[in-house]
Structure 1
Amino acid sequence: MGTSKHLSYTQKLCFGVGHAFNHMCLTSWYTYLLLYLQFVIQLPPSIAGIVLLTGLIANGLATPLTGYFTDRFKPCWNYGKRKTIHLIFSLASLITFPLIFVKFPGFNTLGYWSLLAYFLPLVIIWGISNAAVHVAHLSMIPELSPDQLDRDEITIFRYIFDVAADISLYIISWIILSAGVAAGTDEAVGSDDSWKFSYIVAIVTGMGAVMIAIFHLGTPEEIEQEQGSNSIEEDTAQDSNTARNSEGSLFSVNMNWSDWFREKHFFFIGLLLVLARMYFNLNQTFIPLFLQEGIKAEEEILAVIPLTLQVSGLIASCLVRLLLKVVNKKVGYMIATCFAYAGCIWLGYDSQEALQSGNVYILTVLIGIGSSLMLVLSVSLTSDLIGTNTESGAFVFGAITFVEKTLNGLFIVIVQTGHTFCEDCPTYYREVIAHGISAIAILSLAVVLKLNPHTVGTRYSEMNTVQGRKESVARKSSKSYGSMRKGFPILERPTISS
């Protein structure tokens, strides 16, 4: 269960910084891994793709599994289970991630299979570590405080630090990758540039070590007491682990991973978070490709547009708290989808000349605002969904993340496969954004319209309430003392006096 007091401002900041290194690693992975493997290590695109895909598969499969085991993990020392998982796998990331971007002497003489034997174990370990840190950090949100405003604030701080980490990464990369390139030239990245990637990753790793230390020193986590059996009878007797729902007549009880599939809000809010992440990640993937193929953007624009996307998202996330003072989360999410849809449609139907003259910056701001608000509000709603059932909160975030990564991968594979049949189509990625990614915003709007934010956290399945489980126990007890026959009621349990 969460702590009984409000978090201090310092504790919220310390928690927010706890995922920044993990996020910087993931951004570096998507942005630079293929570039590094193909042009620095000089692997064929197919082999480089195998390395990238292996890491994503490991990450996707590890997400729900680490969520399941994190909920059941019992540390051997006097330290919180979420922070223990976070620390162990953060250390694994600090070791493995820099090794992925280090070109050791003799790499040029190794065959492809030897290089695969080096990279695949590293990306598998890093993929699992990234998933474990992500789930452990997210699942702490509903545990840190029972106060909904506290949860909303730490969710916002988490996103702010993630975006700030992305901005820092882009600035560091821009400075280092441009070093040593003569003015007026357009020199491609080559095998001699391995030191640049090593410097980038070394700086990121150093920053990450500091962030991890701040998180563990400044973030509290209540240490769970040893509990006994999780039988239905004992669950119904644990008043300290129950919480009154919005209807006031039922009480929630301890839930394991399978219990969530009985709750309709698990699917509604889970879908909202999946769609929000898909919208954010797919725009990050395809906007640079659109700039390069669609409007033949200059190299400077290719660097500035991602920064514009992140900065606009950062500003929007800082304003979420003010927005929620005026409207509820449902209306806020609806506003976010309007920004998201407007940005994609504008990009699809504006003229190339207008986009080149500066409109691309305006629509990027709209996309950044929409994606940021969708992400922050969907994570906040997921924390509200978990409520007091923090004993299985990691599974909730893990399962949602697994679905999101799977759908993201399928979307990208379908789009890239389709491009092979239309190689001379300069508007291909524009159509993908205008019709494919904008459809995600419309679907998000349709889902949130069906959501009643006042009932989020309510348990509708009788097996997830104290009253329902008591009735289930009573039915089982009565059936064990008699059977229903025509004209004869079920025999009651005999009393002591009888």
Structure 2
Amino acid sequence: MDAIEDYSEVYQRLPRKVYLAYGMGHVLNDACASMWFTYLLVFFHLVLNFSNTEAGALLLVGQIADAVATPFVGYFSDQGDDFWFCRYGKRKIWHLLGTVCVVVSFPFIFSPCVTCENAPRWSQMFYYSMFIIIFQFGWAAVQISHLSLIPEISPNEHDRTKLTAIRYAFTVTSNVVVYVVTWAVLHLSGNDNNKIGWNDAAKFQHIVWGVMAFGTICSILFHVLVKEHEVLSGYHDVRGTKIRTDLKELFTDPQVYQVAINYMCSRLFINLTQVFITLYLHEALDMVASSLAVVPLTMYIASLVTSFSVEFINKAAGRKITYSFGAMLGLSACLCISLGSGTLYTRYLIYVVAALLGSASSIVLVSSLGITTDLIGTRTNSGAFVYGIMSFTDKLSNGLVVEIIEALHKNESNTWFYRDILTYVCGGAVLIGVIAVIFLKRPLSVSESTRGLLVESDDTGDAIN
């Protein structure tokens, strides 16, 4: 108890500057992810005329590359403090490396094959796969290093929730920027009322360069304003020792698998919604090109508004109830999609459904990330590896599910295919996620002796047991 008392005397709440600067660190990733999940299949299938299966295979290549990279980056990010270049920060050096990889590779993904537009399809697939692998490695490096900073920055549960909520608020802001830029490019080019086609290839390049410029500026600000060594001078030294996790203990803990299932299903719900909402609008509802930006934009505006209240809901009701509430919103949206049709639905009610999906995504993701940080507790020296495990399940499952769905869509006349996907696959994912979280035990950290204590705070910000 003496250690806890000493700890409570030293701990201070984080300054506002750290919250904001931290949130900027994932903006480039978020902007690229928004393009990746929302428009990759649209671009390759509708613009470049790849088949559904070929477009799905490219997305699968990216998800597998990301899945393999995340535990690799996580492990070496945790162990990297012995290398000379890690004096910059063992988390931030991976963030910087990943940012460079994203910047040099992503623009080539959303552009026609350079000097090989008329090459055989297999060679074009290889061409795009190389850039996708580089991009996904960089994306994984940024994601894992950025997430693993949360438990490093603060041992306080409510600070961690606030950091996660601010991170998600910037995620939503990034998505909003992507959809606003997309709408503006399509609108200014006079393509509002047409369907997407080959002539839109150049427009996608303009969109990519616009959102990447915004993301790169935010990454620069993150690296300038967040000083990792200053931030990390906190609670490890207070406790007198660095806690290293036994991997055997980690993999024999049932709660690790429960949290992994919850995280995987949460990401499946969010990412599959983002991937297939545009195809649903295009095929099932036969909506115009501008709707492919406006409806997702509605989703993320609702998500942004909701993200500001997630911290308070978590604090008042706890993670389980908060997650369950978000899951109920998501299931309600999936039910509305299964029943929606007609002019009234496509003109007005689709935006209500989009708002429900956005609000559900915000609550579900922030709560799921909070559950993961609770699992890490004070084991911050293995935090990146734990995030790597969670992200591995997320990326691999997303890629496999998308490829399976695209391979099954062989009948182009089945215009309601993507409606059923949003209803049953997305709805089923969030349902499994809420079941997994209901059966989690609290606290998630197993014992004081093996994993340390997760420090909570009262409303005044003082540390309490």
- Would you say 1:441 and 2:450 are equivalent positions? no
Paired residues of 2:272 and 2:426 also in contact (CA < 8 A):
yes
Paired residues of 2:338 and 2:420 also in contact (CA < 8 A):
yes
Q: The residue matched to 2:228 in structure 1 has which SS?
A: coil
Select between 12-21 and 110-119 the one with higher mean Cα deviation: 110-119
- Would you say 1:163 and 2:172 are equivalent positions? yes
CA distance in 2, matches of 1:355, 1:218: 46
1:233-272 counterparts in 2 under 5 A? Answer: 240-241=240-241, 253-272=243-262
Paired residues of 1:142 and 1:388 also in contact (CA < 8 A):
yes
1:145, CA displacement in angstroms? 1.0
Picking from 189, 193, 217, the partner of 2:197 is 189
Picking from 134, 147, 152, the partner of 1:143 is 152
Question: Aligned partner of 1:406: which letter?
Answer: L
1:226-305 counterparts in 2 under 5 A? Answer: 240-241=240-241, 253-305=243-295
- Would you say 1:355 and 2:362 are equivalent positions? no
CA distance in 2, matches of 1:296, 1:241: 61
Q: The residue matched to 2:229 in structure 1 has which SS?
A: coil
Shift in alpha-carbon separation, 1:254–1:93, aligned structure 2, 3 A: same
Q: The residue matched to 1:186 in structure 2 has which SS?
A: coil
Number of residue-to-residue matches in the alignment: 437
Question: Aligned partner of 1:61: which letter?
Answer: V
Paired residues of 1:257 and 1:395 also in contact (CA < 8 A):
no
CA distance in 2, matches of 1:458, 1:341: 32
CA distance in 2, matches of 1:366, 1:113: 40
- Would you say 1:458 and 2:465 are equivalent positions? no
Q: Which residue of 1 aligns with 2:226?
A: 219
State the Cα RMSD in Å: 2.9
Paired residues of 2:330 and 2:361 also in contact (CA < 8 A):
yes
1:56-75 counterparts in 2 under 5 A? Answer: 56-74=63-81, 75=83
1:16-165 counterparts in 2 under 5 A? Answer: 16-37=23-44, 48-74=55-81, 75-77=83-85, 78-103=87-112, 106-108=115-117, 110-112=119-121, 115-116=124-125, 118-165=127-174
Paired residues of 1:63 and 1:398 also in contact (CA < 8 A):
yes
Paired residues of 2:66 and 2:137 also in contact (CA < 8 A):
yes
Paired residues of 2:109 and 2:132 also in contact (CA < 8 A):
yes
1:194, CA displacement in angstroms? 4.2
Query: What do the CA deviations read for 1:136-175 (whole angstroms, capped 9, x no partner)?
Result: 1111110011222211111011001011101101111222
TM-score scaled by length of structure 2: 0.85
CA distance in 2, matches of 1:24, 1:465: 35
1:54, CA displacement in angstroms? 2.5
Shift in alpha-carbon separation, 1:214–1:329, aligned structure 2, 3 A: same
1:423, CA displacement in angstroms? 4.6
1:257, CA displacement in angstroms? 3.7
1:224, CA displacement in angstroms? 11
1:388, CA displacement in angstroms? 0.8
Percent of aligned pairs sharing the same letter? 30
Q: The residue matched to 2:240 in structure 1 has which SS?
A: helix
1:223, CA displacement in angstroms? 7.6
CA distance in 1, matches of 2:122, 2:413: 34
Q: The residue matched to 2:84 in structure 1 has which SS?
A: coil
- Would you say 1:429 and 2:437 are equivalent positions? no
CA distance in 2, matches of 1:419, 1:61: 27
1:133, CA displacement in angstroms? 0.9
- Structure 1 stretches of 5 or more lacking a match? 226-237, 243-252, 467-498
1:105, CA displacement in angstroms? 6.6
Q: Which residue of 2 aligns with 1:378?
A: 368
Shift in alpha-carbon separation, 1:123–1:342, aligned structure 2, 3 A: same
Q: Which residue of 1 aligns with 2:307?
A: 317
Question: Aligned partner of 1:169: which letter?
Answer: V
Query: What do the CA deviations read for 1:72-105 (whole angstroms, capped 9, x no partner)?
Result: 1134142210001101111121112223345587
Paired residues of 2:42 and 2:279 also in contact (CA < 8 A):
no
Paired residues of 2:320 and 2:437 also in contact (CA < 8 A):
yes
CA distance in 1, matches of 2:327, 2:390: 20
Shift in alpha-carbon separation, 1:424–1:116, aligned structure 2, 3 A: closer
1:56, CA displacement in angstroms? 2.5
1:66, CA displacement in angstroms? 1.4
Shift in alpha-carbon separation, 1:182–1:319, aligned structure 2, 3 A: closer
* Higher relative contact order, chain-length normalized (CA < 8 Å, sep 6+): 2
CA distance in 2, matches of 1:39, 1:426: 15
TM-score scaled by length of structure 1: 0.79
